[in-house]
Amino acid sequence: MNKLIQQITSFILPITVLIIIPLLIEKDIKIKLITAFIAGLILMVSGLTVMTLTISGFIRIGRGTLAPWSPTQKLVTCGVYAYVRNPMILGVLIVLLGESLAILSSSILILAVFFFVVNNIWFLVYEEPDLQRKFGDLYTEYRKNVPRWIPRLKSWISQK
């Protein structure tokens, strides 16, 4: 039961960033241009797909969640992680960009940029050094072969 609670509470962060904050900063939500709305919807579905694959990998392979209070026990380097080191954040960023495009919101676009900058700093200052301490040479090899933000064209497979 404790694991189920951890998994459910791990959704607090994405729900806050993807739904609550945008609703708080963009009070007048209207579809202004149908083509922008459709393109934004496609981005949102794409981002949510990446997030779903990431969360699934964290639970199944990493035996943890995306939340800092319930981290993975194993380094996940397969699936979407074989293409890019931070697919969860990339998925959230894609959803935010989709939301911004769908309703032509500069406020949500600014939120997306802020979200990216804060997470980039977080990865550089805390998460990557922490992963290096936890997983050592395996993380070093992974970091050398898989980019932080722009996905590889071909899946990377660990040689260890």
DSSP 29: -
Q: Which two tokens stand for residue 49?
A: 């797909």
Q: Give the chain's end-to-end CA distance (angstroms, integer).
A: 34
Domain span holding position 44: 32-145
pLDDT for position 160: 63
Q: Which two tokens stand for residue 59?
A: 């639970």
Q: Which residue has the higher pLDDT, 18 or 121?
A: 121
Of 44, 12, 13, give the one whose Cα is nearest residue 122.
13
Is 15 inside a domain boundary? Answer: no
Is 7 inside a domain boundary? Answer: no
Span 25-82, pLDDT tens digits: 887 778 888 999 999 999 999 999 999 898 888 878 877 767 666 677 888 999 999 9
Domain count, the chain: 1
Is 53 inside a domain boundary? Answer: yes
Asked if 138 and 85 touch (Cβ cutoff 8 Å), the reply is no
Average pLDDT over residues 84-96: 94
Asked if 107 and 25 touch (Cβ cutoff 8 Å), the reply is yes
DSSP 153: S
Asked if 95 and 44 touch (Cβ cutoff 8 Å), the reply is yes
Is 119 inside a domain boundary? Answer: yes
Distance CA 92, CA 14 (A): 7
pLDDT for position 22: 83
Mean pLDDT over each residue of the chain, to the nearest integer: 87
Is 151 inside a domain boundary? Answer: no
Asked if 77 and 145 touch (Cβ cutoff 8 Å), the reply is no
Is 123 inside a domain boundary? Answer: yes
Is 104 inside a domain boundary? Answer: yes
Is 158 inside a domain boundary? Answer: no
pLDDT for position 19: 78
